[in-house]
Structure 1
Amino acid sequence: MCFTLGVGLYSSRISLNVLGFEDYGLYDLVTGVVMVFSFLQSSLMVTSTRFFNLALSENNNSHLKDVFGSALYLHRQFALLLFLASETLGIWFLNYRLNISDTKLLEANILFQFSTLSLMFLVTQIPYQSIILAREKMLAFAYISVLEALLKLLVPVALIWVGNIQYKVAIYGGLVFSVGVIIRLIYRNYCRNEFQETRTTAVGNKDIVKKMRTFFGWDLYKKFSEILLVQGVKVNLNLFYGVIINSSVAIANQAQGGIAAFVNNFTSAIRPQTTQSFVTKEFKKLNAIIDQGTRIGFFLLYVVCVPVIFNAEFVFSLWLGNVPGFAVEFFKLGICAVLISVITYPVLMTIEASEKMKWMSFTCGTLNIIGLIAGYYLLKAGYPETTPFIIKIIIEAVFFVFYVLYLKKVVYYQFQIRHFLLKVILRIATVVICSVTLLYWFNNAVLDAESFFRLILNFAICLFTTVLLGFRKAEINYGFNLIILKLRQKR
């Protein structure tokens, strides 16, 4: 993951230098219009992984093969639906609603077509990704992710090699699409070689498809609102400040997404265990997963993020050289929102393991849409550019409270809120308060100038306080013993 993160961030730096602020902002804006329709992708991933986990828990290979064939059938249907939506609503919005100069409009439309095709390949790739996650083949998933990061690094390098050409952004989008096709073929070939259930055609079992569509429908509204909020922030800022500010949003999102990928991989690893524990009613194991998953997921992100937040100007200048305005501010606020949201992941995964998602999806989805509308009118009223990101932080805090109460009252009555708050959230709060206070004092009283040395010391302080205050004694001992064992094995 460290390697993938480093390659991804370096790739962003090269892309920004090759395209420039305006073209990089245009790329992020146009692909963002297509990504509005990718809300289906996120819901389909959750749906596929859940049904694969259920089939694996039954230990019935024939049924698992039927589930996979139904998933392929369903995903191809939705890929076609996304194509139609993009070519109608997407084209209209791109040409008549976004703030794009006439000289860039043709190039934006070409890029839009490549982005639409990329999304279709991404959707049809989901069943293969989901079965890898359900079977917990994380090493294969990691190798393919590394290869994808390296191929995406070659895209801006190729543009440097060809020099100054016309329609550079459109060509960039075409090369990214080519990478998507290659990765799609790799996922398919790996799965067909390793997993017998994937050697089937896209034929849907009527009963399975009906169940998958029902579950998918419950999650659809919430996922649509999430992607609408993320992409809507870009559109709102574009409407009031132009395409230049979209480069700042793109850079902030790239850095934020790269760091958050640490936790996404961790949560993907515990999702199968969460689903199977809930389905088989192993509540003691499920409680342990929620407890440890919440703390470890948060601390993984926290230890990486907090030193970067305290040294953001230095890190961004080191990374990009020339930093777009507001990129640092957007990044800091975005990371705060992610830190709050990561606390809810294991709780949310438990809710998704059940079939009681209707009111959760409706409530959270509506709140996201309200946040988007509020951001538009506040920007229109003259509030600063950071307003939509502050709204996102508030929404994530409300989600946390809602998810915990919903899990207890509707889904999982055995869930102990008091234990969760005292043993998990209080421990997290203690780490945050102590480490931030210590870092603030150190950076002001001891070493006030941002530098690489201060960044390393901040990381060490954050890691020390997290290990000391965030983990139980038995967990610390287990971690040290595991490290010693690994070191001995390498000798």
Structure 2
Amino acid sequence: MSSDISQNNKRIAKNTLALYFRTFITMIVGLYTGRVMLQALGVDNYGINAVVGGIVAMSSLITSTMSAAIGRYITYALGKGDRARLQVMFSTSINAQIVMAVLAAVVLEVAGVWFLNSEANIPEGRMIAANWVLHCSIISLMISLVSTPFSALIVAHEHMTIYAYMSIVNVTFKLAICFLIMMYGGDRLILLALLQVAVALLMRVFYGWYCARHFEEAHYSPTMFDKGLLRELTVFSGWNLLNHGAYVFSTQGVSMLVNVFFGVVYNASRSVALTVNGVVQGFVGNFTMAFSPQITKSYAAGDKAYAILLANRGTKFTWLMMYIFIVPVCMEAETLLQLWLGQVPVLAPLFLRFAMFESLAFSSGQNLFKLVQADGRVKQYNIHVTLFMGVIFPLTWIAYRMGAPVWSGYLFYIVIFFLLNFVRFYDLKCLMTFSVKQHLRDCIYPCLIVSVTSFILPVILAQFMEQGGVRFFIMVPVSVLWTGGCCIIFGLSQDERLFFWNKMQSVLKSKMPK
């Protein structure tokens, strides 16, 4: 058993390193791409792209539920070692995703086109380009849906290296698109939409080739359709539909409200904040992605105690990693955006600060959510979560109607998502032997101490320096080092600190010339 745990820890560490290599490259390229894209499109077109993309993302309240179900069942079958069922599941899931893609396209071509042309706040003369973006985004969504079983196979088999490499290729394509747009003399927003479809198609072809070459179960048969399995997927995803629907309305739905009440300029500011936050969340989310297959496989193999241990550890590590980014970004948001973009949209620094804590609130419960999914009994959980998350959209709508500031939507999201963890505690206790007291003692309390102490030195230092480039290049490394030290001293247990130092020493030794 100890040998298996050691191998699992090594696999998690290896996959996390591969994903961090991906994230480091994509972070650099992605941030530069965001700057070039904003300059190439302008604030209005950038905001239009964000609004229309949000309309398509609203469809994920239907589509992402089936995608999550496919990922869970494929990983669970691997944990059970059932290869025959895995092959049937793969073909069945592709057939299901094809149907889902067609349904999503029909709904979006009706409801999406109506909202864009009747309700959305689009600047005069840009409606034709906005419709091009909508139709191309729908095609990209269909390609992405059919690709889901292939991506799920790669993650389930924990081939994170190829996943990392293709993410780098993807952002490189996006950078190339930016330069093509800057050289184009016509409507740049339309060209952007068409090129994004081309990139999505190229990625789909590669993932199909890679899976067919490396995984024996990745051979699609249109006639292989297991009705029983489809029923399981439908029931599982049906209850998840409530959860995902509430989440989409609390994020993309709020973005639509921002557009209706305040216009595309504020959508551009929100999109800028989401771009930076997306980079950070992707960096921290590598922990969740690396831990997730092991949580599901351990649970499927009957080792529930180890699955709970992984979920608790992943929760704490995710929080601590988030704070290494939160502190420097919150302290230097204005200068960061000025250096990155040159032209900073209105309220973007404030949105960025809120978005960082919004991301922390969301990430704090993801490993616990994976634990619920590993069990498979998701009905009660999804009902409870839906009731909590579902109030964000109407509260924001009421607040905006009463004249509340544009940033108030962030407050509703942050408070409710932190409270949502108490719902997870209750449901996990109903499903398995989950100790809330142990989770609070081992995870939450150390994280709260780090959350307070990590701001002390940066706040004091900021009082003696004027805002600007000099303070930025001093404050960022000081904030990172100080927060990292707080994480090690206050956030990690004695065993975890010993594990951390041993791993650091082994990594340094491996890099030393022999």
Where on the TM-score scale, by shorter chain, does this alignment land: which range? over 0.9
How far did residue 448 of structure 1 move? 6.4
1:23 partnered with 2:42: no
Q: Which residue of 425, 438, 446 corresponds with 2:444?
A: 425
Distance 1:111 1:448, change over 3 A: closer
How far did residue 291 of structure 1 move? 2.2
The equivalent of 1:361 in structure 2 is 382
The equivalent of 1:244 in structure 2 is 265
The equivalent of 1:195 in structure 2 is 215
How far did residue 288 of structure 1 move? 1.7
The C-alpha deviation readout for 1:322-354, integer Å capped at 9, x for no partner, is 110111111111111211222211111111112
How far did residue 264 of structure 1 move? 2.2
Q: Which residue of 411, 418, 423 corresponds with 1:390?
A: 411
How far did residue 308 of structure 1 move? 1.2
The equivalent of 2:196 in structure 1 is 176
Tell me, in whole angstroms, the C-alpha distance in 1 between the residues paired with 2:354 and 2:227.
46
How far did residue 442 of structure 1 move? 2.6
How far did residue 68 of structure 1 move? 0.7
Q: Which residue of 333, 336, 347 corresponds with 1:326?
A: 347
Q: Return 5+ residue gaps in structure 2 as ranges.
A: 1-22
Q: Which residue of 42, 59, 80 corresponds with 2:102?
A: 80
How far did residue 93 of structure 1 move? 1.0
1:275-354 superposed matches below 5 A: 275-354=296-375
How far did residue 102 of structure 1 move? 4.0
1:71 partnered with 2:90: no
How far did residue 483 of structure 1 move? 2.4
Partners of 1:341 and 1:400 within 8 A in 2: no
Q: Return 5+ residue gaps in structure 1 as ranges.
A: none
How far did residue 269 of structure 1 move? 1.5
Tell me, in whole angstroms, the C-alpha distance in 2 between the residues paired with 1:41 and 1:12.
27
Letter of the structure 2 residue corresponding to residue 211 of structure 1 = E
Letter of the structure 2 residue corresponding to residue 153 of structure 1 = L
Tell me, in whole angstroms, the C-alpha distance in 2 between the residues paired with 1:419 and 1:238.
43
1:256 partnered with 2:270: no
Partners of 2:79 and 2:298 within 8 A in 1: no
Tell me, in whole angstroms, the C-alpha distance in 2 between the residues paired with 1:144 and 1:32.
24
Identify the range of structure 1 (452-461 vs 364-373) with the bigger mean alpha-carbon deviation.
Answer: 364-373
How far did residue 85 of structure 1 move? 0.6
Q: Which residue of 484, 487, 490 corresponds with 2:505?
A: 484
The C-alpha deviation readout for 1:285-311, integer Å capped at 9, x for no partner, is 123202211111111222122211111
The C-alpha deviation readout for 1:52-72, integer Å capped at 9, x for no partner, is 122112223221101111111
The C-alpha deviation readout for 1:424-478, integer Å capped at 9, x for no partner, is 1101111111112232223224776642122111111111111121112222222
How far did residue 138 of structure 1 move? 0.8
The equivalent of 1:38 in structure 2 is 60
Identify the range of structure 1 (112-121 vs 428-437) with the bigger mean alpha-carbon deviation.
Answer: 428-437
The equivalent of 1:459 in structure 2 is 480
Letter of the structure 2 residue corresponding to residue 270 of structure 1 = F
Q: Please give the secondary structure, in 1, of the residue aligned with 2:104.
A: helix
Partners of 2:295 and 2:371 within 8 A in 1: yes
How far did residue 200 of structure 1 move? 2.4
The equivalent of 1:135 in structure 2 is 157
The equivalent of 1:400 in structure 2 is 421
Partners of 2:312 and 2:368 within 8 A in 1: no
1:103-142 superposed matches below 5 A: 103-142=125-164
Q: Please give the secondary structure, in 1, of the residue aligned with 2:391.
A: helix
Identify the range of structure 1 (220-229 vs 246-255) with the bigger mean alpha-carbon deviation.
Answer: 220-229
The equivalent of 2:31 in structure 1 is 9
Tell me, in whole angstroms, the C-alpha distance in 2 between the residues paired with 1:81 and 1:370.
27
Q: Please give the secondary structure, in 1, of the residue aligned with 2:455.
A: helix
Tell me, in whole angstroms, the C-alpha distance in 2 between the residues paired with 1:19 and 1:447.
33
How far did residue 284 of structure 1 move? 2.5
How far did residue 211 of structure 1 move? 0.7
The equivalent of 2:114 in structure 1 is 92
Identify the range of structure 1 (260-269 vs 386-395) with the bigger mean alpha-carbon deviation.
Answer: 260-269
How far did residue 421 of structure 1 move? 0.6
The C-alpha deviation readout for 1:169-227, integer Å capped at 9, x for no partner, is 11111111111111111111111111010012243211111111111111012112211
Distance 1:433 1:447, change over 3 A: farther
How far did residue 283 of structure 1 move? 2.6
Identify the range of structure 1 (388-397 vs 16-25) with the bigger mean alpha-carbon deviation.
Answer: 388-397
Tell me, in whole angstroms, the C-alpha distance in 1 between the residues paired with 2:354 and 2:125.
34
The equivalent of 2:241 in structure 1 is 220
Partners of 1:44 and 1:126 within 8 A in 2: no
Number of residue pairs aligned between Structure 1 and Structure 2: 487
Partners of 2:287 and 2:318 within 8 A in 1: yes
Partners of 1:447 and 1:454 within 8 A in 2: no
Q: Please give the secondary structure, in 1, of the residue aligned with 2:310.
A: helix
Tell me, in whole angstroms, the C-alpha distance in 1 between the residues paired with 2:178 and 2:465.
41
Tell me, in whole angstroms, the C-alpha distance in 1 between the residues paired with 2:399 and 2:335.
31
CA-based RMSD of the aligned residues comes to: 1.5
Letter of the structure 2 residue corresponding to residue 171 of structure 1 = L
Please give the TM-score of this superposition, normalised by the length of structure 1. Answer: 0.96
Distance 1:101 1:311, change over 3 A: closer
The equivalent of 2:226 in structure 1 is 205
The C-alpha deviation readout for 1:145-182, integer Å capped at 9, x for no partner, is 111111111111101122x32x2211111111111111
Q: Please give the secondary structure, in 2, of the residue aligned with 1:269.
A: helix
Tell me, in whole angstroms, the C-alpha distance in 2 between the residues paired with 1:419 and 1:478.
20
Tell me, in whole angstroms, the C-alpha distance in 2 between the residues paired with 1:58 and 1:252.
42
How far did residue 44 of structure 1 move? 2.5
Tell me, in whole angstroms, the C-alpha distance in 2 between the residues paired with 1:367 and 1:264.
23
Tell me, in whole angstroms, the C-alpha distance in 2 between the residues paired with 1:230 and 1:142.
27
Partners of 1:128 and 1:191 within 8 A in 2: yes
Q: Please give the secondary structure, in 1, of the residue aligned with 2:71.
A: helix
Q: Please give the secondary structure, in 1, of the residue aligned with 2:480.
A: helix
Q: Percent identity, please.
A: 24
The equivalent of 1:52 in structure 2 is 74
1:438 partnered with 2:457: yes
